[in-house]
Homo-oligomer: A and B are copies of this chain.
């Protein structure tokens, strides 16, 4: 492979696929070679903007023989078969999260991936956000002593369409999945899950028996506790915060401002405009860094790409949270 750019095949050209296409085009170490989407117009449009040969067939893309890696950004149910096909083709994979909504399907692939000579990485982009990555590095460096509590506040600007809720696998598999992985980014060895859910405002959630509001508490092997506070809506914008509480101090990640301006009047002082309200704005840098890490993974350089096991672990936690929320019991988990 040497120093020539890694030739990517991109499967899936929806919103997130387009983000990856841009990242691939802008990164000097990567090039977009092939683009597949059964909705071939999508593939053509992306190829026109970011390079590569379009096709309506993922199989054709994988069979072409001129790729160095595959990025899977197609709908969740296609992930497992496409990862499998990519491994058949001997190609490293970066696959969007979640691997699947069904743990059994993931486990069926697990041995195959473990034995694979090429890497399979999962797209937990938030690990690559500069703020979260910085906090983790500083926690590891001991800046706040022992990590005792991690509090993750994660609220979307607005609930998804009711149709989507119905196929999402539920709030824990669909939304909290990111927070489960973030928890494990700091405390990989989670041993117990407690979850509470409520349905307070979203008609879609109500229709599909899902929650729109949730709190999850995770216990790590060390006894450190992680608290995740979720909501499907947030009037003030995308709410993505973290507090890492240690024996000697606290590291905080604040929400992303949209302006440097504040206003003060007789009514209120230091008021600022609402936070960023779109995940692609909030995590723009994270997506680019995620790709950069995967390039290192592919090149065999030291890297921190989340693994298939990380993807599986997040799903295990999501399933445990669902069960805990339904039964009112804490659920022990074994991520090994």
- Chain A residues at the B interface, C-beta cutoff of 8 Å: 130-131, 134-135, 138, 143-146, 148-149, 151, 153, 155, 192, 194, 196, 198-201, 213-215, 217, 219, 222-225, 227, 229, 231, 233, 235-237, 245-257, 259-275, 328-330
Contacts and interface: CB of A to CB of B under 8 A. Distances in A.
A245 B200 CA distance: 12
A236 B149 CA distance: 15
A263 B247 contact: no
Contacts of A248: 235, 265-266
Contacts of A224: 198, 200
Contacts of A225: 196, 198, 213-215
Contact of A261 (B131, B261, B275): B131
Given A269-B272, A269-B275, A131 B259 contact: yes
Contacts of A270: 252, 270-272
Contacts of A257: 257
Contacts of A135: 261
Contact of A247 (B131, B235, B274): B235
B266 A249 contact: yes
Nearest to A230: B149
A90 to B, nearest CB: 36
A268 B261 contact: no
Closest 10 CB pairs of A and B: A271-B271, A249-B265, A328-B330, A268-B271, A198-B223, A131-B260, A236-B264, A250-B264, A254-B260, A235-B266
Contacts of A143: 263
B251 A223 contact: no
A249 B275 CA distance: 12
A245 B269 CA distance: 13
B194 A196 contact: yes
B264 A268 contact: no
A134 B247 CA distance: 28
A194 to B, nearest CB: 6
